[in-house]
Amino acid sequence: MLLVGLTGGICSGKSEVLKMFGELGARTFDADKAARQALAPGSPALRELVREFGPGIVDPNGRLIRRKLRELAFFDAEKRNLLNQIVHPEVDKIIKWWLEDLESTGGEKIAVVEVPLLFELGLENRYHRVVLVWVERKTQVARLMARDKISPEEAKDTLVLQMDLDLKARKAHLVIDNTREPSHTREQVVRAVRVLRAWAKELDLVAD
């Protein structure tokens, strides 16, 4: 089985591309869903976050208020690193369980795991291949402004906290340009699946 790390940046469209991979026959894993599972009410990771960031990050039912946590941690490098140190190991466990289950069933050629901070956390060597979802910076800014109802300046301040997509593109094995219409993106994903299947066969990771 070929393990593929799918990454990108804020508002680059990773989830849409992940869905396309699934529609084309790859097995897919959404890291955001894993994060929600890892931070479910009463979970060890959420309890640790409450100890570090205070009870104000959960609602009366014990559910994480993501907006509150973002306000406390996102723009503070030390707190952001602490957040990653708490959450990522739990997400990593869930990913490993999923992959082990896939391996046990057999027959899978390509497994695509969405990992938003793959390069930032130095996780690229865990995957046989890395696919980047790329968009122009101005597209990222416009999408982020629309999504979060923020100013251009706030959007740019947010984006500067992640590795630039052009730098990530130089590190990735394949790049999907998601700037244009969905049909253009899908054509690239179709080609990517073809290339990934060839790589899987070349690396002797699947049977003919």
| 75 — pLDDT class (breaks 50, 70, 90) | confident
Residue 208 has pLDDT above 60, yes or no: no
Cα–Cα dist 60/139, whole Å: 38
pLDDT single digits (tens) 92-110: 999 999 988 888 877 668 9
pLDDT single digits (tens) 149-203: 999 999 998 898 889 999 999 999 999 999 999 999 999 999 999 999 999 988 8
| pTM score, whole prediction | 0.89
**CA torsion through residues 92, 97, 103, 106, sign:** negative
CATH, residue 43: 3.40.50.300
What pLDDT score does 107 carry?
A: 63
| Closest to 45 (Cα-Cα) out of 117, 94, 108 | 94
Report the greatest alpha carbon distance in the chain.
54
84 lies in the same domain as 96: yes
Give the H/E segment covering residue 3.
Answer: strand 2-7
User: For the chain, what is the mean pLDDT?
Assistant: 92
| Closest to 132 (Cα-Cα) out of 100, 106, 169, 99 | 169
Pairing assessment for the beta strands 110-114 and 2-7 based on DSSP bridges: parallel
Structural domains in the chain (count)? 2
173 lies in the same domain as 208: yes
206 lies in the same domain as 146: yes
